[in-house]
Amino acid sequence: MRQQHKKVLILALPETAGSALYGMVDVLMATGNIWQTLVGDPIPYQPFDVQIVSVDSAPFHCGHGIPVEPAYAITDNPAADILILPEIWLGPHEDIGGRYEALMDWIKLRFRSGTTIYSACSGSVLLAESGLLDNCAATSHWGYQELFRTHYPRVHFRPETNLVYAHPDGRLVTAGGTTSWHDLALHIIARYVGIGEALRIAKVYLLKWHGEGQLPFTGLVRQTRHADSAVRKCEEWLKMHWRDPRAIALLVEASPLPERTLKRRFKTATGSSMIEYLQNLRIEAAKRALEHGRLSVEEVSLEAGYEDVHFFRRLFKRLTGLTPGEYRRLFRPLVEELADLSEA
C-alpha cells in the first residue's frame, strides 16, 4: 500500500534562485512516478504534494527574472509537513535583518506547529534570522562563514559538511553549497519515501551525493571586510611573501606594532590567526598546482613552502577534507576535460 502523500511548501522570494526553486519542485513532483514511467511500472504514485508559498500570492519574478506564481501567501497559513527554504541571491556580507519580519514570524509558527524545515545553501540565512538556529549547528554555502560570524554568532556554523541536523529530532536540517539542493532532495526522498526511490531519482536526474562535503570546494583565501589598515597591510604583505619560511617572523619584525597587539588585531579583523592565514595562502597555492600541474606531491609541498611533506599532507587534509592525491583525482580530470573542450 502506498503511503499518504506529504504536503510540501517551498518558499519563493524575489531573491530566490530559480534553478533551486524549480529544480526542487521538479524532482519532488517526479518522485514515485518518473522512474516508474520510464521502466513501465504499472503503478506510479505521488508521495509529495508540492506547492510554492511566498510573502503574498501575487505573481512576481525571482532571481534572473524567472516568473513565480505562488499557490499560497504566508497570511493563508497553509498547513505543511515539510517547508523548504531554497537558495537566495545574497551577498557574502549582506544583512537581511528586518527585511522579512512577517516571514520570520511565520517560519517560527510553522516550526511550532510541527512542520519539518529544510534549507539549502543561503536559505539557512533565513533560518538564522528567524532565531531557530540559535545555539544549533548549521551549514550553508562556505562563502557565508563571515556573514554568520558577524550577524549570527550564536549559530555553530559548520562549513565543512554538506548536511547538518540542527534539531535533535531532525526537524531542522540545513544543506551546504549552491547545488546542495540535490543532496537535500535525495535526503528528503530517502527519509519520507525510501532509500530505493532516492536511488532511482538519483539515476534519472544524474544527481551525485556530495559525500566529500564542502571543504574541497572552499576558497581558503577570502577578502574580509574590516577597517584596520595595519592588518590590511599585513594581509597584502603575506600574499606577496607566503613562500618565505620566516614569513610570520619577518612580518612581526617589520610591523611598528608590538607582536601581541598585532596578532590580536589580526585575529579580530580577519577571524583567523596569522599562521592560519598563511597556511590558507599556502594550501590554496598547492590546490592550484594540483589542479593544473603535474608536480609530485613532494614537489607541490616544497612549492607551497613546506619541506616536511608529512606535515603538508596532514595540513592539506585538515583544510580540504582530502589528501593531495584525492584532491588531484577530483579536480584534475575536470580541468583537463574543460581544456580539451575549449581547444575543440
For the segment 9-30, what is each residue's pLDDT rounded down to a tens digit?
999 999 999 999 999 999 999 9
**Over the chain, what is the mean pLDDT?**
91
> Helices in 10-138 by DSSP H: which ranges?
18-30, 34-39, 101-112, 123-130
With a cut of 80, say whether residue 343 has pLDDT above it.
no
- What pLDDT sits at residue 2? 54
The pLDDT > 70 percentage for the chain reads: 98
- What pLDDT sits at residue 92? 85
Compute the distance between CA of residue 231 and CA of residue 343 in angstroms, rounded to an integer.
Answer: 43
With a cut of 90, say whether residue 179 has pLDDT above it.
no
CA distances from 182 to 28, 32, 172, 279 (A): 11, 17, 17, 32
> For the ranges 82-86, 221-225, 248-252, which has the lowest average pLDDT?
221-225
Compute the distance between CA of residue 179 and CA of residue 160 in angstroms, rounded to an integer.
Answer: 15
Enumerate the β-bridge partners of residue 53.
11, 72
Q: Which residues contact 71 (CB under 8 A, 6 or more apart)?
A: 51, 52, 53, 57, 78
With a cut of 70, say whether residue 344 has pLDDT above it.
no
Half-sphere exposure of 289 toward its Cβ, with a 13 Å CA cutoff? 20
Inter-residue contact 223 to 199 (CB < 8 Å): no
- What pLDDT sits at residue 1? 43
Its pTM stands at: 0.78
DSSP summary character for residue 16: B
| Complete domains list, the chain, with CATH | 6-217 (3.40.50.880), 229-343 (1.10.10.60)
Q: Which residues contact 303 (CB under 8 A, 6 or more apart)?
A: 243, 285, 286, 289, 295
DSSP summary character for residue 49: E
Phi/psi at 336 (nearest 5 deg)? -65, -40
pLDDT tens, residue by residue, 314-330: 999 999 989 999 999 88
In single-letter form, the type of residue at position 225 comes to: R
Compute the distance between CA of residue 40 and CA of residue 55 in angstroms, rounded to an integer.
Answer: 41
Residue 75 is placed in which grid cell?
497570511
Is the model more confident about 213 or about 238?
238
Q: Which residues contact 247 (CB under 8 A, 6 or more apart)?
A: 238, 241, 278, 305
Is the model more confident about 2 or about 56?
56
Compute the distance between CA of residue 134 and CA of residue 167 in angstroms, rounded to an integer.
Answer: 11
